[in-house]
Amino acid sequence: MKKVREFVKKAFGRLLAIRRKYWLIGGGAVLLVMAVIIALIRPSRLENILSGLSESYQAESMCHEACMASRRAFSDELVKGLRADPQAKAGRRLQTDFLDEKMSLALRSGLLKIIKELSGADNAPDYVSEYLQSGINDELRAEILSIYSMSALSQESDLFDYYFKILVGNENLIMKLAAVRALGSFPGKAEYLSSGQLELMKGIILNSGTDKRLRQPLILLLNEYWSAYAQEVKEILMAYYLTAASGDTISRAFAADSLNRFGGEELQVPEVSPQEWDEYYNN
């Protein structure tokens, strides 16, 4: 009987030892799973920096010197961190926040500058190029046109045509002005311009319904094409100078100045009032 009791005692002890072993293993596995879950849920240092930047835009609509310095520091840290670890979660959130239409334009504009620093002006990410083509916010699309180089967005000839599609399409004034600025900075622009596109510019300039804020930079842009289309440019500018409607003295002055300097004319340049110049420079 004594031997039986000892056997039962030893067997029970072994059973307890086995159960303790599996409890330890199971407990360790649970702790490991919990640690992984916490690591996935808890924001990383770079995500906290991105949150700080977002909060800055939400809290301060008018950003002064200290605010600008704070945002610059957040941006610099993000760029530094994402260059060191391109696969960081903050990089995916950067893209998500940039594309989020509920985010403020000011924040998304700031994020776009960070994206450009990371990608370089000649290498726009696909989601930036896609937003330029089909995004909702025209001010943000215009900024993409302004800060990325032509080669970053498309083949140069394709992009040149794209700018003209914006000019004659249903885009709003913000996008049209961005397209004119992009055309003005386009290298070798005279090589790409076709006679058909010059006719499109003529139609916009001579149309009395064209917003003068668009006509004025277009007339200045025509100065870039005297070497390739001297006769055509002269005819467009002279037609506008002779038939210009009232209310856009600056466009007429630009036309006269261009004709006198490049077209051999001696036209009277209309006098532009200080109020008109003030409106021109502040619009």
Q: Would 266 be classed as within a structural domain?
A: yes
Q: Which of 192, 215, 250 is the last residue of a domain?
A: 192
pLDDT > 60? residue 31: no
Residue 29 has pLDDT above 50, yes or no: no
Residues 185, 223: one domain?
Answer: no
Number of domains composing the chain: 2
What is the pLDDT, as a whole number, of residue 145?
Answer: 83
Q: What does the alpha-carbon distance between residue 261 and residue 270 come to, in Å, rounded to a whole number?
A: 15
- pLDDT tens column, 172-215: 899 999 999 888 887 777 888 888 999 999 999 999 899 999 99
Please give the pLDDT value at position 39: 39
| Residue 41: inside a domain | no
Cβ pair 206, 243 in contact under 8 A: yes
Same domain for 271 and 201: yes
DSSP 95-137: HHHHH-TTS-HHHHHHHHHHHHHHH-TT---HHHHHHHHH-S-
Q: Look at residue 22 and tell me if it is in a domain.
A: no
pLDDT at 164 over 50: yes
Is pLDDT above 90 for 260? yes
**Could you tell me the residue range of the domain that residue 186 belongs to?**
120-192
Percent with pLDDT over 70 in the chain: 80
Q: What is the mean pLDDT of the chain?
A: 82
Domain end marker among 176, 192, 208: 192
The DSSP secondary structure of 47-92, one letter per residue, reads: HHHHHHHHHHHHH-SS--HHHHHHHHHHHHHHHHHHHH-TTSHHHH
In this prediction, residue 42 has a pLDDT band, given cuts at 50, 70 and 90, of very low
Shared-domain flag, residues 282 and 199: yes
pLDDT score recorded for residue 250: 95
Which is more confident, 199 or 160?
199
pLDDT of residue 43: 54
